[in-house]
Amino acid sequence: MAGITLDIADGRLQQYMAAETAVLSSQAYKIDNREMTRADLGAIREGIAYWSDWVDKLNSVQRVLPTPRAVGRVRRGGYRMR
């Protein structure tokens, strides 16, 4: 899908999370023109996974690897790195 922004993906994810909460408490939930019940819990969870992946893709947070540090004692002039 072209044109999906982080705001759109996050909004949809929040809708699916609210739907899951409502359905788990034995209520029905409506997203656009579609009413979801407990029988639709699998579809709701697929929607959560789908929109969660989009949020992760669009989120620009970079993962930083930890800096290796020396631990233990000196052995033959070097440290064991972890």
Residues 25/28/32/34 CA torsion (nearest 10 deg): 130
The CA angle 57-2-11, to the nearest 5 degrees, is: 60
pLDDT cut 70: percent of the chain above it? 74
Look at phi and psi of residue 9 and say left if phi exceeds 0, alpha if psi is from -120 to 50, else beta.
Answer: alpha
The pLDDT of 31-60, averaged and rounded, is 85
pLDDT digits (tens, 9 = 90+) for 3-43: 888 899 999 999 999 988 888 887 777 778 887 777 778 88
- Indicate the DSSP class of residue 61: P
DSSP line for 11-38: HHHHHHHHHHHHHHTT--EEETTEEE-G
On average, the pLDDT of the chain sits at: 79
Say what the pTM is.
0.58
